[in-house]
Amino acid sequence: MVRTTLSAAEARRVALAAQGFGAAPADTVSTRTLTAGFARLGLLQIDSVNVFERSHYLPLFARLGSYDRATLDRLTMTRRGPYAEYWAHEAAFVARTDLPLFRWRMDAFRERDARPNRVEGVERTAGVRRELLALLEHEANVRRGPWWGWSDVKTGLEQLFRWGEVVSAGRSGFGPSRPPPTGPPPSPSSCGARAVRSGSRRARTSPTTSDCARTTLPRP
Protein backbone atom coordinates (compact mmCIF):
# COMPACT_ATOMS: atom_id res chain seq x y z
CA MET A 1 0.00 0.00 0.00
CA VAL A 2 1.29 3.45 -0.92
CA ARG A 3 1.82 5.67 2.09
CA THR A 4 0.23 9.08 1.98
CA THR A 5 1.43 10.46 5.32
CA LEU A 6 4.70 10.88 7.20
CA SER A 7 5.31 11.16 10.90
CA ALA A 8 6.96 14.34 12.14
CA ALA A 9 10.24 12.48 12.72
CA GLU A 10 10.17 10.98 9.21
CA ALA A 11 9.40 14.35 7.66
CA ARG A 12 12.36 15.87 9.49
CA ARG A 13 14.71 13.17 8.22
CA VAL A 14 13.44 13.48 4.65
CA ALA A 15 13.81 17.27 4.75
CA LEU A 16 17.35 17.10 6.16
CA ALA A 17 18.40 14.57 3.50
CA ALA A 18 16.87 16.69 0.74
CA GLN A 19 18.82 19.68 2.03
CA GLY A 20 22.10 17.77 1.73
CA PHE A 21 22.67 16.72 5.32
CA GLY A 22 22.38 13.00 4.64
CA ALA A 23 25.99 12.29 3.66
CA ALA A 24 29.42 12.78 5.18
CA PRO A 25 31.37 15.85 3.97
CA ALA A 26 33.52 15.27 0.90
CA ASP A 27 37.27 14.85 1.34
CA THR A 28 37.89 17.38 -1.42
CA VAL A 29 35.40 20.03 -2.45
CA SER A 30 35.81 20.86 -6.14
CA THR A 31 33.99 23.33 -8.35
CA ARG A 32 31.75 20.46 -9.45
CA THR A 33 30.97 19.62 -5.82
CA LEU A 34 30.02 23.23 -5.06
CA THR A 35 27.86 23.40 -8.17
CA ALA A 36 26.06 20.19 -7.22
CA GLY A 37 25.49 21.49 -3.69
CA PHE A 38 24.16 24.77 -5.05
CA ALA A 39 21.83 22.91 -7.40
CA ARG A 40 20.43 20.89 -4.51
CA LEU A 41 19.69 24.02 -2.48
CA GLY A 42 18.41 26.05 -5.42
CA LEU A 43 19.86 29.33 -4.15
CA LEU A 44 22.16 30.94 -1.58
CA GLN A 45 20.74 33.81 0.45
CA ILE A 46 22.82 37.00 0.62
CA ASP A 47 23.05 39.23 3.68
CA SER A 48 25.22 42.30 4.13
CA VAL A 49 25.48 41.69 7.90
CA ASN A 50 28.78 39.98 8.71
CA VAL A 51 29.13 38.70 12.28
CA PHE A 52 30.87 35.35 11.83
CA GLU A 53 31.01 35.06 8.03
CA ARG A 54 28.96 36.21 5.07
CA SER A 55 25.79 34.17 5.14
CA HIS A 56 26.04 32.72 1.63
CA TYR A 57 29.30 30.94 2.49
CA LEU A 58 27.80 28.98 5.39
CA PRO A 59 25.17 26.63 3.87
CA LEU A 60 27.68 24.86 1.63
CA PHE A 61 30.25 24.71 4.43
CA ALA A 62 27.65 23.05 6.69
CA ARG A 63 26.93 20.41 4.06
CA LEU A 64 30.26 19.90 2.28
CA GLY A 65 32.88 20.85 4.85
CA SER A 66 35.82 23.17 4.25
CA TYR A 67 36.15 24.59 0.74
CA ASP A 68 37.96 27.39 -1.07
CA ARG A 69 35.77 30.50 -0.85
CA ALA A 70 37.53 31.95 -3.90
CA THR A 71 35.98 29.14 -5.96
CA LEU A 72 32.48 30.08 -4.81
CA ASP A 73 33.30 33.75 -5.45
CA ARG A 74 34.21 32.92 -9.05
CA LEU A 75 30.89 31.13 -9.46
CA THR A 76 28.74 33.86 -7.90
CA MET A 77 30.54 37.21 -8.06
CA THR A 78 32.02 37.42 -11.54
CA ARG A 79 30.50 38.71 -14.75
CA ARG A 80 30.62 35.33 -16.50
CA GLY A 81 29.76 33.17 -13.49
CA PRO A 82 26.80 30.78 -13.73
CA TYR A 83 24.95 32.48 -10.85
CA ALA A 84 23.47 35.95 -10.45
CA GLU A 85 21.59 37.96 -7.84
CA TYR A 86 17.88 38.47 -7.59
CA TRP A 87 15.12 38.78 -5.00
CA ALA A 88 14.04 35.17 -4.55
CA HIS A 89 12.48 34.90 -1.08
CA GLU A 90 15.15 37.45 -0.11
CA ALA A 91 18.26 38.72 -1.88
CA ALA A 92 19.97 35.58 -3.14
CA PHE A 93 22.33 34.08 -5.67
CA VAL A 94 20.31 32.03 -8.17
CA ALA A 95 21.27 30.23 -11.35
CA ARG A 96 21.43 32.67 -14.26
CA THR A 97 19.36 30.23 -16.27
CA ASP A 98 16.61 30.61 -13.63
CA LEU A 99 16.40 34.42 -13.90
CA PRO A 100 13.70 34.34 -16.62
CA LEU A 101 11.53 32.28 -14.27
CA PHE A 102 11.29 35.30 -11.98
CA ARG A 103 9.53 37.48 -14.57
CA TRP A 104 6.32 37.04 -12.57
CA ARG A 105 8.05 38.42 -9.50
CA MET A 106 9.56 41.32 -11.43
CA ASP A 107 6.10 42.20 -12.74
CA ALA A 108 4.65 41.91 -9.22
CA PHE A 109 7.28 44.30 -7.88
CA ARG A 110 6.57 46.75 -10.69
CA GLU A 111 2.85 46.64 -9.86
CA ARG A 112 3.58 47.05 -6.15
CA ASP A 113 5.79 50.08 -6.81
CA ALA A 114 2.91 51.68 -8.72
CA ARG A 115 0.68 51.73 -5.62
CA PRO A 116 -0.25 55.15 -4.20
CA ASN A 117 1.89 54.70 -1.09
CA ARG A 118 5.00 53.98 -3.18
CA VAL A 119 4.51 55.88 -6.41
CA GLU A 120 6.09 59.11 -5.08
CA GLY A 121 9.48 57.42 -4.78
CA VAL A 122 9.13 55.86 -8.23
CA GLU A 123 8.22 59.18 -9.82
CA ARG A 124 11.02 60.99 -7.99
CA THR A 125 13.64 58.60 -9.35
CA ALA A 126 12.27 58.33 -12.92
CA GLY A 127 14.89 60.66 -14.35
CA VAL A 128 17.66 58.99 -12.39
CA ARG A 129 16.63 55.57 -13.69
CA ARG A 130 16.93 56.81 -17.26
CA GLU A 131 20.44 57.99 -16.52
CA LEU A 132 21.31 54.78 -14.71
CA LEU A 133 20.42 52.62 -17.67
CA ALA A 134 23.06 54.48 -19.67
CA LEU A 135 25.67 55.37 -17.06
CA LEU A 136 24.93 54.01 -13.55
CA GLU A 137 26.27 57.27 -12.14
CA HIS A 138 24.46 60.55 -11.40
CA GLU A 139 24.92 63.83 -9.56
CA ALA A 140 21.98 62.92 -7.27
CA ASN A 141 24.00 60.12 -5.68
CA VAL A 142 23.77 61.58 -2.15
CA ARG A 143 22.69 59.47 0.81
CA ARG A 144 19.59 60.49 2.74
CA GLY A 145 20.83 59.01 6.02
CA PRO A 146 22.84 56.13 7.52
CA TRP A 147 22.34 52.45 6.62
CA TRP A 148 19.10 52.41 4.59
CA GLY A 149 19.08 56.13 3.88
CA TRP A 150 19.57 55.48 0.19
CA SER A 151 20.29 58.17 -2.37
CA ASP A 152 17.96 58.56 -5.35
CA VAL A 153 20.58 56.76 -7.44
CA LYS A 154 20.57 53.76 -5.12
CA THR A 155 16.76 53.79 -4.90
CA GLY A 156 16.37 54.01 -8.66
CA LEU A 157 18.91 51.26 -9.23
CA GLU A 158 17.12 48.96 -6.79
CA GLN A 159 13.83 49.65 -8.58
CA LEU A 160 15.39 48.67 -11.90
CA PHE A 161 16.86 45.57 -10.28
CA ARG A 162 13.49 44.50 -8.84
CA TRP A 163 11.83 45.01 -12.21
CA GLY A 164 14.44 42.95 -14.04
CA GLU A 165 15.85 45.82 -16.13
CA VAL A 166 19.36 45.47 -14.70
CA VAL A 167 21.18 42.49 -13.21
CA SER A 168 24.36 42.05 -11.22
CA ALA A 169 27.51 41.60 -13.28
CA GLY A 170 29.60 40.63 -10.26
CA ARG A 171 30.85 42.25 -7.10
CA SER A 172 33.79 44.34 -5.95
CA GLY A 173 34.11 43.50 -2.28
CA PHE A 174 30.47 43.18 -1.32
CA GLY A 175 29.11 45.83 -3.69
CA PRO A 176 27.28 44.67 -6.86
CA SER A 177 27.80 46.01 -10.37
CA ARG A 178 24.58 45.99 -12.37
CA PRO A 179 24.44 46.39 -16.18
CA PRO A 180 21.33 45.81 -18.30
CA PRO A 181 20.43 42.09 -18.49
CA THR A 182 21.22 39.78 -21.37
CA GLY A 183 20.16 36.22 -22.03
CA PRO A 184 16.96 34.33 -22.81
CA PRO A 185 13.66 36.21 -22.88
CA PRO A 186 11.60 36.21 -19.69
CA SER A 187 9.16 33.36 -19.15
CA PRO A 188 5.45 34.11 -18.96
CA SER A 189 4.58 35.01 -15.38
CA SER A 190 2.39 32.00 -14.69
CA CYS A 191 4.93 29.51 -16.04
CA GLY A 192 7.79 31.09 -14.08
CA ALA A 193 5.83 31.10 -10.83
CA ARG A 194 4.97 27.42 -11.22
CA ALA A 195 8.59 26.53 -11.98
CA VAL A 196 9.90 28.44 -8.94
CA ARG A 197 7.33 26.79 -6.67
CA SER A 198 8.25 23.39 -8.10
CA GLY A 199 11.92 24.02 -7.33
CA SER A 200 11.02 25.08 -3.81
CA ARG A 201 9.08 21.88 -3.25
CA ARG A 202 11.97 19.75 -4.53
CA ALA A 203 14.44 21.46 -2.20
CA ARG A 204 12.17 21.22 0.83
CA THR A 205 10.68 17.79 -0.05
CA SER A 206 7.85 17.96 2.48
CA PRO A 207 6.73 21.60 2.77
CA THR A 208 3.27 22.70 3.76
CA THR A 209 1.18 24.82 1.40
CA SER A 210 1.91 27.89 3.52
CA ASP A 211 5.65 27.13 3.33
CA CYS A 212 5.54 27.24 -0.47
CA ALA A 213 3.52 30.44 -0.51
CA ARG A 214 5.75 32.17 2.03
CA THR A 215 8.97 31.42 0.17
CA THR A 216 7.83 32.22 -3.37
CA LEU A 217 5.20 34.98 -3.25
CA PRO A 218 6.27 38.65 -3.17
CA ARG A 219 5.49 40.63 -0.07
CA PRO A 220 2.67 43.18 -0.33
Burial class (CB in 10 A: 0-12, 13-18, 19+), 74: middle
Task: Describe the strand order of the beta sheet including 44-45 as a list of residue ranges.
Answer: 44-45, 91-95, 83-87
Neighbours of 53 (CB within 10 A): 10
- The pTM of the full predicted model, rounded to 2 decimals, is 0.64
CA–CA separation, 148 and 151 (whole Å): 9
pLDDT in tens, the chain (220 residues): 788 888 989 888 888 888 888 778 778 899 999 999 999 888 999 887 777 888 899 999 999 999 999 999 999 988 888 998 888 888 899 998 888 888 888 888 888 888 877 777 777 777 767 766 665 544 444 455 555 556 777 777 778 778 777 776 666 554 555 444 544 445 555 555 555 556 555 555 556 666 655 554 444 4
Half-sphere exposure of 109 (CA within 13 A, CB side): 19
DSSP symbol at 94: E
Give the helix/strand (H/E) hosting 171: strand 171-172
